[in-house]
Structure formats: C-alpha cells, structure tokens
C-alpha cells in the first residue's frame, strides 16, 4: 500500500507510534503538501477567526481604545477605570454565577432523571426522545420570547394556570420582581438545556452492558445500589463533559437574557455578556467593555482548566 500511495518510506517507530499501534496500523507520514490540503483551511480559519480576535481583544483590554483606532498601549488604565465603578462588575458577576450554577445544576438533575426514566423498556421511547429534543431545536430567541409570554403578568399562561388552580389569588409579575426574574430565566434556560443532557446521558447509559445490571441484581444489589455502583461510573465522564459544556454555554449566554428581561428589572438579571455588550454598544465605554470581556475570558479559562483536571482525575480512578 505504501508504494501505491507514493508516500515517503515509513519512518522509524517512535514511542508514539507504539502507543497508537493498538488503534491503527502504523501510518505513513504524509507529505507537507497533503497535510496542507487537509489541515490548511481549518488552520487558516482558526488563526484568522479564532486566535487573532482573542489576542486582539486581550491586547485591546490593555490599550487606549477610546477612539477605537489608535490602540496605543495603556497599561492597566481600562481595568482601573472598570474597577473605579465596581457596581459595573459586581452585580453582573453575581448574576452570571447564579444563572450558570442554577441552570447547570437543575438541567443536569432533570436530564439525569429523564435519562434514567427513558433507559429501559418503555412504550414509545423513540418518539418521546424526539419530542424531548424539540426545545433544543427551536432558536433561543423564540424560546426566550415564548417564556416571556408564558410569564406575562397580565395574560400569561403561568399566572392563568396558578389562578385557576387557586395557588395564587393575584397575578404575579414574574419578570418584574428582582427576586423572581433571575429564576424565570434560569427556568427557561433549563427547559432548553436539559433535553440535550438527557440524550447524551441516555446514550451513555445504553453503552453499559445489561448483564452488569443483571449480575448485580442476582447478587442482591437493589436499584439504588446499582445506580451508584454501575450506572453512575458508566456515565460519569459524559456527565462531567455535558455539565462543563452546559456551564460554559450558560456563562456566555446572551440571547436568552437580552430577550426575556433585557437585564432588568433594575439590573437583577444583567449578566457579564449583556453587560459587555451594553458597555460597548450602548454606553460607548469601550475601555471598560474590553477589560470586562478579558475578565470573562480569564474566568472561563480557569473554570475550564479546573473541570478538565476534575475529569482527568476521574479517569485515573
């Protein structure tokens, strides 16, 4: 095969080849030209559309961006300006953490519960799995508007239902109360997020051999015991991964918050992403926006590294 592909002769086996030998036959090293054909477009786009903008944004957070053109290095000026008004940062930071943690924990719990229910014999499981995925398919802005309408204080379905069930006797302004509105956007985010988690966990559960459960049951392990000792270890890596992804998506979520509440009432749902947008495009506080965006990046980076280490530690066990 080697001669037919006109590839250079097989190189000496390196330790790396030996490691991957179990997965695949040792492969010929392709020429640089061939490599460029396959990886070139991706690399160009990654450098141009991902790496360059990130470096640009990080640099700009240390530059004088007041007129958006000169970009002269200015040290920590932007950060000092941002921290001079700590309320610009503290409120959105707390709201972001609440939104992220709240929606991830609830979406993981619901997703795991739903996956457990659908795992095993159940009439119409395929159809149900499709139906569960619908919230994931519809655009975020549509989801956001739908929940804004459900939670409408005058004619929304939620108040209508609670009034008819006599759980409340006055309409509640769900999105008008600073104590309630953050939980409503979390609810909307969970509604959109849990189906994806469910599908991933369900797929992981179905790779666990049924014999494991049967043998354990014969040995007298109850459902709870099997859940802890068989199901959980089987889904743990995917659980951590989908939790991480869901968390990162929630952390950077913009559309849901912007459309449901616009950051209100009184800033109660303003998150970092919407705050950066507002600082830049509405208040034209360009330097503050760059500094806050860079801080967001650092926070996401720390969280990712932490979670990756956690996932890696889990695999060593």
Partner 1 sequence: MMATRSTRLYHLSRLTGTAIRYTLVACFLLFALLPFFWMLSTALKPATQIYTSPVTWWPSSPTLENFVAVITRADFTVIMGNTLLVAGVSATVSTTVALLAAYGLSRLASRWGELLVLLLLFAQMIPTILFVIPYFLVFRTLGLLDTLLVLIVTHVSLTMPIATWLLRRFIAKVPRELDEAALIDGCGQVGALFRVVAPSARAGIGAVFFYAFLGSWHEYLFALSLTSSPENRVVTLGITSLVGQYQVSWGELMALGILTTLPLIALFLLVERNLVEGLAGGVKG
Q: How distant is the alpha carbon of residue 175 from its chain centre?
A: 24
Residue 293 CB, shortest distance to partner 1, in Å, is 5
DSSP 61-78: TTEE-TTSS--EE-TTHH
Nearer to partner 1, 212 or 304 (CB): 304
Residue 73 phi/psi, 5-degree rounding, is -60, 135
Q: Are 103 and 186 in contact (CB under 8 A)?
A: yes
How many Å apart are CA 25 and CA 10, to the nearest integer? Answer: 12
CA-atom Rg of the chain in angstroms: 25
Residue 182 CB, shortest distance to partner 1, in Å, is 19
Nearer to partner 1, 268 or 271 (CB): 271
Residue 161 phi/psi, 5-degree rounding, is -65, -50
Residue 307 CB, shortest distance to partner 1, in Å, is 10
For 156, which DSSP code?
-
Strand partners, 310: none
For tokens 């009432």, the residue is 265
Nearer to partner 1, 137 or 218 (CB): 137
Residue 38 CB, shortest distance to partner 1, in Å, is 3
Residue 308 CB, shortest distance to partner 1, in Å, is 9
Nearer to partner 1, 60 or 230 (CB): 60
């Amino acid at each position: 095969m080697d001669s037919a592909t006109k590839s250079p002769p097989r190189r000496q086996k390196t330790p790396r080849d030996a490691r991957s030998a179990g997965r695949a036959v040792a492969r010929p090293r392709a020429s640089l030209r061939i490599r460029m054909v396959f990886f070139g477009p991706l690399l160009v786009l990654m450098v141009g559309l991902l790496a360059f903008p990130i470096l640009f944004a990080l640099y700009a957070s240390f530059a004088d961006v007041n007129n958006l053109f000169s970009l002269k290095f200015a040290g920590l000026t932007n950060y000092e300006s941002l921290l001079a008004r700590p309320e610009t940062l503290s409120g959105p930071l707390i709201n972001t953490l609440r939104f992220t943690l709240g929606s991830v924990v609830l979406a993981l719990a619901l997703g795991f519960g739903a996956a457990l229910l659908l795992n095993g014999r159940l009439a119409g499981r395929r159809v149900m799995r499709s139906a569960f995925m619908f919230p994931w398919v519809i655009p975020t802005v549509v989801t956001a508007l739908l929940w804004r309408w459900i939670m409408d204080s005058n004619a929304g379905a939620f108040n209508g239902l609670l009034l008819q069930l006599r759980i409340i006797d006055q309409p509640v302004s769900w999105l008008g109360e600073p104590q309630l509105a953050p939980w409503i956007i979390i609810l909307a985010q969970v509604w959109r997020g849990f189906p994806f988690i469910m599908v991933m966990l369900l797929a992981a559960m179905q790779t666990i051999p049924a014999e494991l459960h049967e043998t354990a049951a014969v040995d007298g392990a109850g459902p709870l015991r099997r859940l802890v000792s068989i199901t959980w270890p089987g889904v743990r890596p995917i659980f951590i991964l989908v939790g991480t992804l869901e968390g990162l998506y929630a952390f950077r979520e913009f559309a849901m918050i912007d459309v449901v509440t616009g950051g209100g009432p009184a800033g109660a749902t303003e998150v970092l992403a919407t705050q950066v947008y507002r600082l830049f495009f509405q208040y034209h506080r360009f330097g503050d926006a760059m500094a806050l965006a860079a801080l967001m990046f650092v926070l996401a980076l720390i969280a990712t590294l932490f979670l990756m280490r956690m996932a890696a530690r889990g695999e060593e066990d």
